[in-house]
Structure 1
Amino acid sequence: MELGLQPRQRVKGEVELPKTAFISNFSMTIDGRTYVGAVKEKEVAHKVYTDAVSRGHSAGIVTASGRLMEKFGVSVSVASRSTVTFQLTYEELLRRRLGYYHLLLKIQPRQLVEDFQIEVLIAETQAISFLDTEGTFLTDDMMQMVEKSYSGTRGRVLFKPPLAAQRPCSGCTATLLNGEFTVKYDVDRSSYASDIQIVNGYFVHFFAPANLPQIPKRVVFVIDVSRSMRGRKIQQTREALGRIVDDLHRDDYFNVITFSSNVASWKKSLVWANSANVENAKQYIAKMETSGGNWGTLGMQVEK
């Protein structure tokens, strides 16, 4: 992405996002003019960036790394005294865990920020019944600065600490804002045991009945590893199955079966979903590769 300005200084920014999120838009506004980024292969993007900088143009690039969190960084060369604004938009499917939806934000400005602000706006299809926040870096005084409100299907969280509250001591130049900020909420489920959300022609059907006892399960995951699953398909399957196995209860028993031209199983029989077996299964799943002919099935068999 070339910006056509004579470089005078290098500006860098960095933000960490959940591994399950994906960027849907990245843009830079320099002195009132907006430049929208394009998604390219890593090697191609890096070449475009280095070529633009070497020719004296301004350019930006987003890189990603990390295991549990994605780290997105931007490095841009701009003319002296220019005003630069970065806008990053990402989307994420929130998981309901321990009775609440959790939105995790990684806060790491690395310096005191005069106009620091976190604002979270929640819009649900069902009435919000609970809303709270927590943070690994929040002091007792900072907790009093977090504004939380909800009414009907709308909720809002606002955190805007002044400079004095960001300092670990009077006169310090370091910042206390370094860690995780979590928003958790839930919706009224007294009238609904499920919810359907439709966006851009796709739908997600959530089932979340209340007060159900934990029922031990016997689960067999049957996974297609044929050539039709090559590339992004097998990668998504590995990631999804790894998370599903990680959510198994300790009273469950499970096994993994793969098929293409041949059928193979992880274990000879169902095994107990203790921590050792779950970790071993995740390692097995992470190494699954495609082979054989073309099929087209992913499924699981559950016995209660």
Structure 2
Amino acid sequence: MYPKRIPKHLIFDPQPRRKSRAWLWWLVILIVTIAATLLSLVARADESAMVQAGQFRLTSASGQAIHAVHLATEVSAIINGLVVTTEYVQHFRNASDIWAEGTYVFPLPMTAAIQQMEMQIGERRISGEIKERKAAQVLYNQAKSAGQRAALTMQQRDNLFTQKVANIAPHQSIKVTLTFIDRVSYQDGLFEWRLPTTLTPRYIPGVSLLPQEVPHSNDPTLTTNQSGWAMATDQVPDAELITPPMTDSNLSDGPQNPLQLSVTLQAGMELAAIKGLYHELAVQQTPQHYELSFARKQEEMNRDVVIQWQPVAANVPRAALFQQTQDNETYAMLMMIPPTAQVKQPLAKDILFVIDISGSMQGKSIIQAKASLAEAIEQLAPDDRFNIIAFNDEFNLFNDRVVAANSDIKPVAQHWVASLQADGGTEMYPAMQAAYDQLRATERLQQIVFITDGAIGNEAALFDLITATGHDARLFTVGIGSAPNAFFMRKAAQLGRGSFELIGSTNEVQQRITRLLAKLNHVVATNIQIGWPLTAEAYPAKPADLFYNEALVSFAKLPQPIEQLPVQGDKADKHWQTTINGASTTAATAIGSLWARHKIIELEDQGRTGSLDKDTVRNLVLGVALEHRLLTRYTAFIAIDSSPARPIKSPLRSQSIANVMPAGSAQQAVMFAQTASTATLSFWLGLLGCSLLGVLSLHKGKAGASAGS
């Protein structure tokens, strides 16, 4: 028998229920979720339509992808003794039917003095003028708006630059040539010239900034078609300027960003060997010099080009002093190898190995890094103490303190290293701070070995940490991979009063680590004094300590040439001194430009250490750069074809040109320079919508259960 129901008209409810509006909330959330999902799909489809490296990505009004190809790069270098003069030629061709502007972010040697830029359109050549950066960008924007062809070259980091080309006509080619001066390095009996060709995508830490929070957001001259895949953050406000799109080199049969190389090597001595570390070279010898090129004519721009040459044993140089007179000024360059001191019994040391296991190290880089660390542990002396810190988003310690490097602990440490996997972000700062915190025993040598590819955007924060009060441990860096951030590796080691090694292949691990540990145990010369005249302006102002088989290099500006230069210092076993005879050089403006570049480097370093404030650094650097026509972060090269080319009514499409991912990298190529923020935002909106739907469903279920009870 069922209970009788009370008719509704007989029920009295003092608080009558309102008609539910839950359906409206459900509808709103459903619409938001669908819209976010569609936006995300559109953004991802847009990403997949991104063209391959070396191409503009243009979009027509109908949404179709239009390609404009970055054809190739040609490098011609003349190596005369210790000086390298390079012409770096970039060819751009717009293969579309729409007027195009392109932006290309690319690396160059960190010590290069870029002194000339030229834009060529057909047979017309327009020489670039050196201007203050803001003024150059104003001129570029005005020319672009007026339909004039223009090229703008800027520096973002000491080794990272931006090339912009505006108003490339449909199916037209434009060539931009940069000329720069650099010097070769000398170490362990080998001369070496290194040319970077691509970069490893940099980790961008920090909290994202709103457009109005970016320091340069209110200055229209500094926001010229920024197209990086990363948004500005409080730690890296210029993130979008240093994060170009990247693509995989395996997407086509031939090179996507092809590079041609021609090198004339005038070593000035008989050579025993010439080799390319990572590329096969064709070598032709003439009575006066060597001609070098790629054996395969052109190569993909996916790893550093490194050429080494070795003099015969009888010709190994110990010292060289070159001078050049220009505009009633004499510029001098000194290179010398101090006498090698007898290696005494090395002092016991505490050493912290810091190894990068972030996502940028995936592939061959982590293999090289782990092999390097395992070899370094194997070569530690029994009296040494060590610890290991591995980091990505977080850091992990092998032990809570430094431990003795005995035969029992070494295999345990090597097994721990072998188990490391590369993934996640690159939070260097906490790991480095932890390393300094562990090294407090002043009675022993305190050393840090930092193994990484240097793929970060907040280098300045790390430099501040290295030079902080109380951080007295010497820092040695090991750059890993096909395209390490050499600027960070070298500068970190310099500020940390150590040295650095670059390892681009597993075949180099044992030799480079053995050389590194020789440096750890053996400071060859300290208290170095170069007897430049009192009227000379020399850089570096105070020579650093020298490690095993390293060369001393110094530049000076003098009122007149000198015939002899005294040099002295302290070795491990005794004081030493020598006198070097002067010489001349035929390099017309090379040494003067190199002196100016090294003066700028020293001024920037004084700004990093707080010896000079930012405004003073800017004003001093600007003065040197404008006088010597050098590209810096405060100056830029601008070239403008005065005759308008693009009809004002014709649209101009802008896009970035991708770099090729470094060889051996297992990272996924970053292909969404223009859609990253939209795709990411859409993803999170979609996720939020789904979450709200879930919460409402759960709430409704609980309410129903409560009502049912």
2:103 touches 2:162 (CA, 8 Å); kept in 1? no
State whether residues 241 and 285 of structure 1, in contact with CA within 8 Å, keep that contact through their aligned partners in structure 2: no
Q: In the alignment, does 2:118 pair up with 1:27?
A: yes
What's the counterpart of residue 208 of structure 1?
337
Matched, 1:74 2:164: yes
1:184 counterpart (308, 328, 331): 308
- 1:100 Cα deviation (Å)? 1.5
1:128 maps to a residue whose letter is L
The separation in 1 between residues aligned to 2:286 and 2:341, in whole angstroms, is 30
Q: Partners in 2 of 1:126 and 1:103 — Cα distance?
A: 17
* Corresponding residue for residue 276 of structure 2: 133
In structure 2, the partner of 1:268 is none
Partner of 2:608: 286
Aligned twin of 1:92: 182
The residue aligned with 2:283 is 148
Match of 1:55 in 2: 146
**Which among 177, 197, 200 is matched to residue 107 of structure 1?**
197
C-alpha distance in 2, partners of 1:120/1:244?
34
Match of 2:260 among 106, 117, 129: 117
The equivalent of 2:324 in structure 1 is 199
CA RMSD for the aligned pairs?
A: 3.9
Structure 1 Cα separation of the partners of residues 114 and 297 of structure 2: 30
The alpha-carbon distance between structure 1 residues 86 and 193, as it changes in their structure 2 partners (threshold 3 A), is same
Separation in structure 1 between the aligned mates of residue 323 and residue 606 of structure 2, nearest angstrom: 34
1:22-76 Cα deviation digits (max 9, x unpaired): 1011101101100111111221111111111112211111122236x22242323
In the TM superposition, structure 1's runs of 4+ consecutive aligned residues that sit over 6 Å from their partners are none
How many angstroms does 1:19 deviate by?
0.9
Question: Please, which runs of 5 or more residues in structure 1 have no aligned partner?
Answer: 1-6, 167-175, 217-238, 256-272, 274-282, 292-304
Q: Compare the two structures and name the one with the higher helix fraction.
A: 2
Matched, 1:245 2:369: no
2:129 partner SS: coil
- Counting aligned pairs with the same residue, the percent is 14
Q: In the TM superposition, what is the alpha-carbon distance from 1:156 to its structure 2 partner?
A: 2.6
The Cα of 1:153 is off from its aligned counterpart by: 5.7
Structure 2 residue matching 1:107: 3-state secondary structure:
coil
Whether 1:43 aligns to 2:134 is yes
Report how many aligned residue pairs link the two structures: 217
Report the Cα distance in structure 1 between the residues aligned to 2:301 and 2:493, rounded to whole angstroms: 35
1:182–1:75 CA distance, 2 compared to 1 (3 A): same
Q: Residues 246 and 55 of structure 1: is their aligned pair in 2 closer, same or farther, counting only changes over 3 Å?
A: same
Q: TM-score normalised to the size of structure 2?
A: 0.27
Instruction: Name the CA distance, whole Å, in 2 between partners of 1:181 and 1:62.
Output: 22
Shift in alpha-carbon separation, 1:177–1:62, aligned structure 2, 3 A:
closer
Q: Distance in 2 between matches of 1:178 and 1:241?
A: 25
Offset from partner CA, 1:120-145 (integer Å, 9 cap, x none): 2111333333311112xx5xxxx3xx
User: 1 or 2, which has the higher strand percentage?
Assistant: 1
Identify the structure with bigger relative contact order (alpha carbons < 8 Å, sequence gap 6+).
Answer: 2
**Aligned-partner residue type, residue 9 of structure 1:** A
Give the CA deviation at 1:188.
4.4
- Structure 1's 52 and 121: CA in aligned 2 closer, same or farther, altered over 3 A? same
Structure-to-structure mapping, 1:214-293, within 5 angstroms: 242=494, 245-247=497-499, 249-250=519-520, 251-252=522-523, 286-290=608-612
Is the Cα contact below 8 Å between 1:23 and 1:88 reproduced in 2? yes
TM-score (norm 1): 0.58
Q: C-alpha separation between the residues in 2 aligned to 1:59 and 1:75? A: 6
Helix, strand or coil at the partner of 1:90: strand
Secondary structure of 2:138's partner?
helix
- Structure 1 or 2, whichever has the larger Rg, is 2
